[in-house]
Each structure stands twice: as C-alpha cells, then as structure tokens.
Amino acid sequence: MDAYAAQFTADADFVNVVGMHWRGRHEIGSRHAEIHQTIFRHSQLQQLGHSLQFINPDTAVAHLEWRMTGHDTKHLNDWRTPEVRTGVMTIVLVRSGDTWRIRAAHNTDIIPLPSLDN
C-alpha cells in the first residue's frame, strides 16, 4: 500500500465505494492498508478499460473500469456483495514536472438494477 499511496499528492482526496472520504496521502495509504489486511486481503483487481481526457497540459481526468475477485464476501453480507464486483473509478491527475500524481479519486461499484419493465 506504500507504493499505492505514493501515487497520490500529499493533499489528495479519495472517496471509496461506500462514501468514506479520506484526506491526504498518509490517510489514503493507511486506510487502504487496514482494509487490505482484512476483507480485501486476498482480493485481486483487474483493470478492464479506461478513458483519459486532458483539461489542460498539467491536469487530466481518467475513468478506470475495474473487476475485483477474491474479497471476503462473508463479512460483507449486509452489502449483498457479489463474488465478482465491477466498478468505475474517476481520477483527477496533476503533473508536476515529469511526474503525474493523483489529486482526487472517487471509486464506485456498478450495481445492476432490477428490471424496470415491471
């Protein structure tokens, strides 16, 4: 998680899939480390696709589509979490010199809606 946290600016913001808002590289790293020692201990995340748009030469917005497997579903029963989760993460990237860092990220699960034909 240290390598993951290093990708963020010192003053970054991260909102996870349940709306927890973590502020700063240190909190983002420590909170991810906590949950990856428990429910996400055996999880694997795969990037399915992405898009990237430049707002200006030093700022970009990315949307990453992802799939997760291996997470602990028995402790997430109240969420009715499927064994294979999919989602989208929106990321604001900023450049300082030759280095790009994440300034803000918002992660979202894709939850299929029941049929609206009824």
Structure confidence at residue 36 (pLDDT): 76
Instruction: Give the pLDDT confidence score for residue 78 in this predicted structure.
Output: 57
Instruction: Write out the CATH class of domain 2-109.
Output: alpha beta
Cα separation, 118 vs 115, in Å, equals 7
| Alpha carbons within 13 A on the beta-carbon side of 7 | 10
What is the number of alpha carbons within 13 Å of residue 97 lying toward its C-beta? 1
Q: How far apart are CA 118 and CA 56, in angstroms?
A: 46
Backbone φ, ψ for residue 36 (5° rounding):
-85, 0
* Nearest in space to 12 (alpha carbons), one of 4, 22, 20, 2: 22
pLDDT in tens, the chain (118 residues): 889 999 999 999 999 988 999 999 999 999 988 887 877 777 888 999 999 999 999 999 999 999 988 676 665 555 566 678 889 999 999 999 999 999 999 999 888 777 766 5
Confidence (pTM): 0.84
Cα 60–chain centre separation: 16
Say what the pLDDT of residue 117 is: 61
In the prediction, which pLDDT does 107 show? 95
Element (H, E) at 86: strand 85-96
Domain ranges of the chain: 2-109
pLDDT value of residue 8 = 97
Contacts for 55 with CB less than 8 Å, ≥ 6 apart = 61
Q: How far apart are CA 36 and CA 41, in angstroms?
A: 5
